[in-house]
Structure 1
Amino acid sequence: MSEAPRRRRGLGVLFALFVVSALAAGALAAWGYARYQAFVDGPLSGVEAGDSVFVEAGDSFPRVLEKLRQAGIRDGHALEWRLLARRLGAAGRLQVGEYAMEPGISASELLVRMRDGKVIHHRFTIVEGWNIRELRAALARAEPLLQASSEMDDAALMEALDRPGVHPEGRFLPETYLYTRGDSDLDLLRRAGEALDRALEAAWEARAPDLPLQSAEEALILASIVEKETGVPAERGRIAGVFVRRLRAGMRLQTDPTVIYGIGSAYDGNIRRRDLLTDTPYNTYTRDGLPPTPIAMPGTEALRAATRPEPGDSLYFVAIGDGSGRHVFTRTYAEHSAAVREYLRRYRDRHGASSQ
């Protein structure tokens, strides 16, 4: 065979090998691309309801990927995760926080959440009328809130909140607060304290003229009493009106919640005549004027009621006794005495003579 045909035949073999190699490479690339797209858009395996991942300050991308592996996610090679993160602009931009991983989430959706900081928000509600003991007990049970104040007494707590020497009662506004994993109880209390300051300032600025209150602090104390006495929200203004008129007339407030607060942790759920006669700084049966501090956490509506009470002429109120939380408001002591007798009758009818 001549040299030319031999050369042409060799070139043909080379061309065939090139075509086969190109086809193989193309097939491999197509397979790799299909695999990558399935990883990018498909649901991550190993994810169960309630799963989450926590990105901490200083976590590198390999560390975050390791946490995903520990959470049970085996999808994707490290290179695929890096390529996807770069494509989404998430490389080096993962934000600190806790991220939900519900079944069906894709790698793209998860990285976008981390890039945009769409973290899980937890809720904590301060209930209107709670005292500081109840608030701190509820904070201690809150998860995943970090417990930074568990070893602090009330004085140390307020110092940690940059309010040294301030009594903690009534200083935190009742509402629902959102927080994220990594936040502490001090973080939440700091926000609640600032919210109370704003609400109190607004209420005091909008106060009615000629209130027998000398300061916003006194308004806060009165609001806490109104909060504890109110069983029906619509009555806050009327109850505040009774106390304001009593203060104007120089009458003692004679309100049971202040007596109970003075008893403290020894209170067993019953208030007795001897309790009304035992003098404490909080006993408004034995002392004139307002107690020295708030007795509970008043909400925004109680603050508004204390600073803008409803007008009227009633000086007394007592529970109706039907379990509704409503009160009977009266002008004279004789009317009040009759209302008390009716309350006792209703109470006996509801609870029976054996409970007396």
Structure 2
Amino acid sequence: MAASGKKNNILKVLLIIVLIIGLVAAWLGYQAFMSPSIATSEDYFYVHTDEPYESVIKRIEDEGIVKNPTYFKYVAKSMDLQNGIKPGRYKLSKDLSNRRFIGNLRGGYQEAVPFRFQNLRLKENFAGALGKSFEADSTTFLNILNNETIAEKYGFNKDNFFSMFIPNTYEIYWNTKPEEIIDRFASEYKKFWNADRKAKAAALDMTPEQVSVLASIVKGEALHVDEMPEIAGLYINRLKRGMLLQADPTVIFANNDFTIRRVLNRHLTIDNPYNTYRYKGLPPGPIMMPSIASIDAVLNYNHHDYIYMCAKDDFSGYHNFAKTVAEHQINARKFQQALDARNIKK
């Protein structure tokens, strides 16, 4: 009887030990797989294309992405992450467990980049914005933007290729190949130039590319969107009459000096096809990235007889418009006096 009781006690102890071991194992399993794991305050973790698995694991540890790297490595091994990791931009949150994080890395469940751009002056600015937002660097994008063959593929040339990119917000995955990103913009450009816009361009005897070039000048002149159709009408009047556009923003572009606040005679002498004081018609390409508002302002321009304009002397950003040289000279004199009063010499 005593031996039997002793045996039962031993069994109870063994059961308790097994239970404790099971509870500890369950707790460790929960901590490793299911409990919140993210330690960093960073919003995203990036896995580069063709990045070695060991490099990814080391960065996760070195950058303090997870609370317990040992747990993470164990779960990664058990989920065979080494044979299934995918490049991308992965959202991090404090409630993210190792299991979910690794599942995202394995499944490629990344979050797209909401890429928004506007008010960009040069190709270099656009390439820089792309390089900051996506995996490929700015040099790669700039080479594409300056590539004549690629431009021709989409129906443009190197000078007017910049007008294919319609400012907006685009959802694009971070590791998308540069060529595919350009394809996406080309697709959006085709959607933007719908039948209605094409018909309005044709009524102006212009191609969409030419409308975009004129729209870039309108955008360069206008500080206020509500004045864009008026400015567009003025330049269309000059084009119809065979007059030089004489647009100051084109002169600034031609001189490649965007610090100019006062266009002087010496700026007008530059021999450059973008200098509309010397070359008649539209310049070869946009002087900046045209906005949707400026494109639509050209397509829906105000009909009037103005062929001259000058910034108002109150520096409001609006313009005085004129039909004759005499009227324009009065407006110009007022503005020049206002510049002198503020000691703006260049």
Normalising by structure 1, what TM-score?
0.76
Q: Report how far residue 93 of structure 1 moved.
A: 6.8
Kept in 2: contact 1:149–1:185 (CA 8 A): no
TM-superposition CA deviations, 1:139-170 (whole Å, max 9, x none)? 56x26642274597577534356458543343
How far, CA to CA, are the matches of 1:296 and 1:129 in structure 2? Answer: 6
Higher gyration radius (CA): 1
| Alignment match, 2:30 | 37
Instruction: Confirm whether residue 261 of structure 1 aligns to residue 253 of structure 2.
Output: yes
| Alignment match, 1:273 | 265
Aligned counterparts, 1:1-356, within 5 A: 10-44=3-37, 47-50=39-42, 52-55=44-47, 68-72=60-64, 73=66, 74=68, 77=71, 81=75, 95-103=86-94, 105-111=96-102, 113-114=104-105, 117-122=108-113, 124-128=115-119, 130-139=121-130, 142=132, 145-147=135-137, 149-150=139-140, 157-160=147-150, 162-163=153-154, 165-167=157-159, 168-183=161-176, 187-201=180-194, 204-207=197-200, 210-211=203-204, 213-263=205-255, 265=256, 269=260, 271-349=263-341, 351-352=342-343, 355=345
Q: Report how far residue 128 of structure 1 moved.
A: 2.7
Task: Give aligned-pair identity as a percent.
Answer: 22
Aligned residue identity for 1:32: A
How far, CA to CA, are the matches of 1:101 and 1:219 in structure 2? Answer: 44
How far, CA to CA, are the matches of 1:288 and 1:150 in structure 2? Answer: 35
Worse-matched range after superposition: 75-84 or 327-336: 75-84
Change (3 A) 1:203 1:259: farther
Which blocks of at least 5 consecutive residues in structure 2 are unaligned?
A: none
Tell me how many residue pairs correspond in the alignment: 340
Kept in 2: contact 1:232–1:325 (CA 8 A): yes
Kept in 2: contact 1:149–1:186 (CA 8 A): no
RMSD: 3.9
How far, CA to CA, are the matches of 2:281 and 2:212 in structure 1? Answer: 14
Q: Report how far residue 215 of structure 1 moved.
A: 2.2
TM-superposition CA deviations, 1:311-349 (whole Å, max 9, x none)? 223222211133332111222222222111121222223
Normalising by structure 2, what TM-score?
0.78
Aligned residue identity for 2:288: A
